């Protein structure tokens, strides 16, 4: 599958995105999780490109996109996604986001409904126990602490990163761990420094405003899925047109841990 690389210059940042598939097919816009990149979708992107026009974005601070000094609020990530979409299509697009990308996709659908025809959320951080009313310094400390695992990876060589990936994700393919290692090497420290990437503790307010058909895909909590059965039910009640699908024997990286079931869930929803 031919993949082409593109760059778009926005007022405050240069963003890189990938395209695959026939541009006359419906557009499927992919938003990766934190510390990942556009290449992260791997086999799933290639498979979906047989039926859809794929556009996969390197979000700011990730991949080959820029990392400006400021601009890491959720509103900045949503604005980036909206501007890229407007530059590649005049029609509403299917939007799929994994993890942090699910936060961005959720807000994009809520705030720009004219841009989103359908929404697919792969284990987004939709948690009922998200911390509320933190001070800026508390947010900075929480972010710094959470990204310790990323800082631990930074001194590793590429081969060491791949080996580490296989150790913590023993069911992942060689390609998946290669993509994981590359994406971790491309993460800019700016995202976890002071006033870095913003956690969306208000995700539920946005979700309640999403009206387009939505698919929530989640795994098993004991294997690392952020969304559990109770939360999936709560999200279905919160969103007006949402269906939740649980894929067993998977954790947070669902499309890397049960390829067949993930692809089937997406294709059934889109059909």
Whether residue 137 is predicted with pLDDT greater than 90 in this model: the reply is yes
Instruction: Return the structure tokens found at 111.
Output: 């705030």
Strands (DSSP E) found in 21-170: 27-31, 53-57, 93-98, 116-122
3-class secondary structure, 218: strand
Q: Average model confidence (pLDDT) for the chain?
A: 96
Q: Can you give the residue ranges of every domain in the chain?
A: 3-133+200-270
pLDDT for the residue 132: 74
In this model, does residue 127 exceed pLDDT 90? no
213 has a pLDDT exceeding 80: yes
- For 240, residues 6+ apart whose C-beta sits below 8 A from its C-beta are 210, 211
Give the model's pLDDT for residue 228.
94
Q: What Cα–Cα distance (Å) separates residue 72 from each residue in 34, 59, 187, 190, 266? A: 12, 10, 14, 9, 30
pTM (predicted TM-score): 0.97
pLDDT value of position 184: 98
- Distance of CA 180 to CAs 5, 114, 165, Å? 19, 33, 7
105 has pLDDT over 80: yes
Q: What is the CA radius of gyration of the chain?
A: 17
Please say if the pLDDT value at position 107 is more than 80.
Answer: yes
Predicted pLDDT of residue 130: 66
Residue 44's H or E segment, with its range, is helix 42-48
Q: Average pLDDT, stretch 84-95?
A: 97
pLDDT value, residue 133: 79
Q: What's the CA gap between 251 and 248, in Å, rounded? A: 8
Note whether 29 and 85 are within 8 A (CB).
yes
Domain 3-133+200-270 -> CATH class: alpha beta
- 100-111 helix and 74-88 helix, angle to the nearest 10 degrees: 70
């Amino acid at each position: 599958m031919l993949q082409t690389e593109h760059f778009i210059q926005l007022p405050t940042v240069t963003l890189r995105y990938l395209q695959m598939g026939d541009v006359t097919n419906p557009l499927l816009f992919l938003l990766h999780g934190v510390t990942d990149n556009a290449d992260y979708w791997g086999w799933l992107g290639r498979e979906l490109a047989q039926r859809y026009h794929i556009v996969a974005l390197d979000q700011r601070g990730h991949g080959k996109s820029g990392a400006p000094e400021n601009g890491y609020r959720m509103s900045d990530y949503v604005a980036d996604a909206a501007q890229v979409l407007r530059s590649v299509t005049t029609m509403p697009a299917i939007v799929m986001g994994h993890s942090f990308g699910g936060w961005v996709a959720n807000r994009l659908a809520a705030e720009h409904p004219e841009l989103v025809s359908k929404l697919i959320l792969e284990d987004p951080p939709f948690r009922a126990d998200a911390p509320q009313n933190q001070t800026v310094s508390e947010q900075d400390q929480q972010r710094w602490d959470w990204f310790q695992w990323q800082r631990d990876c930074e001194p590793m060589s590429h081969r060491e990163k791949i080996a580490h990936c296989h150790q913590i994700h023993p069911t992942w393919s060689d390609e998946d761990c290669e993509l994981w290692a590359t994406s971790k090497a491309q993460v800019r420290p700016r995202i976890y420094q002071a006033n870095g990437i913003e956690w969306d503790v208000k995700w539920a307010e946005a979700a309640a405003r999403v009206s387009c058909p939505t698919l929530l895909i989640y795994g098993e909590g004991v294997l690392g899925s952020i969304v559990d059965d109770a939360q999936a039910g709560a999200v279905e009640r919160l969103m007006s047109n949402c269906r939740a699908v649980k894929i067993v024997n998977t954790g947070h990286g669902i499309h890397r841990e049960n390829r067949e079931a993930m692809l089937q869930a997406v294709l059934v929803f889109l059909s």
